[in-house]
Amino acid sequence: MSDHYEQLVEIAQALVAPGKGILAIDESSGTIKKRFDSVNVENIEANRLDYRSMMLTAPGLGEHISGAILFDETIRQSLPDGTPLVKLMEQAGILPGIKVDAGAKPLAGFEGEKVTEGLDGLRERLAEYAKLGAKFAKWRAVITIGEDIPSRACIDANAHALARYAALCQEAGIVPIVEPEVLMDGNHDLDTSFDVTEATLKALFAQLYDQNVMLEGTVLKASMVISGSEASDRAGVEDVAEATVDCLLNAVPAATAGVVFLSGGQGDVEATAHLDAMNKMGDMPWPLSFSYGRALQAGCLKTWAADPKGNREKAQKVLLHRARMNGLAALGEWSEEEEDA
């Protein structure tokens, strides 16, 4: 581990640098198809490259975006002039990352629960991704709240896989982002979300410890403690912020390099407001930032899709605005006045 110690710490700290967060553009083929279908864009490689390169070439994106998580196809792509996307990102000061899991599959013997696959052959894939320029990676586990679930077995299976993935990343000199997402689907209340998130995080960090993963070179991608999307009386911004911070303080060791949140179906401004409220609560043991997909992309995608050639700059401005707003929220300096300006 000592071979890569300094390199891992440096990359992890750069990912959560003050006022910066991560752009998640690692949608799988199925997910990007859904996004494109929703705006009537054909899901072909040329369009995927055009859309993602439009975002990555937004002037000044690196001021608020420290890294971007890519899909396997994207990390291998080049612009029509032959410039690899990875090179373009490096010039913009944006670290290239890569999604390496093979997706969440039904967990045998546990109805309604999932376990993420992709450990087989991961060492070799990571070595290749490192050669392609990846500085960090991401693995997402999915925890569902429902009647009598999640089970302890499901939480433990996912925590174990996340820890083994993280250890393999660090061996390859790549910073692991560990993402145990507690889904907000359902009608559960804030307290249930808190209990499940806390149990999941405690299991994860116990496994990271068992697998000799260095926390100073690891970033946690966490879901916020939030009411279920179908809950009748959903908790407000302050309650979500307080519950999330309390939960993290209970379960996340101070040595962890940083915590970046996923938006997980929240609205654009809602995700920004929650992050800002947490950072307004004062100093934390770790930086709290963002790793948003939809909450950074939604408006930008809509604008671009209306006229992919003509609206390129307009779509970039929409993305830059959201990146700046979340950058301010990561410092606890966001406001509705800033949002409207």
Instruction: Please count the helices (runs of H) and the strands (runs of E) in the chain.
Output: 13, 10
Identify the bridge partners of residue 291 per DSSP, sorted by sequence position.
22
DSSP states along 206-259: HHHHHTT--GGG-EEEE------TT-SS---HHHHHHHHHHHHHHHS-TTS-EE
The reply to whether 179 belongs to the active site is yes
Tokens 């407001």 label which residue? 273
**How large is the angle between the packed helices 294-306 and 45-56, nearest 10 degrees?**
120
Coil vs helix vs strand at 21? strand
DSSP letter assigned to residue 184: -
Mode of pairing for the β-strands spanning 219-222 and 114-116: unpaired
- Of the residues 114, 135, 138, 221, only one is catalytic, namely 221
The reply to whether 280 belongs to the active site is no
The span from the first CA to the last CA of the chain, in angstroms, equals 47
The Cα–Cα gap between 219 and 202 comes to: 15
- Of the residues 27, 113, 179, 181, only one is catalytic, namely 179
So which residues are the catalytic ones?
Answer: 179, 221
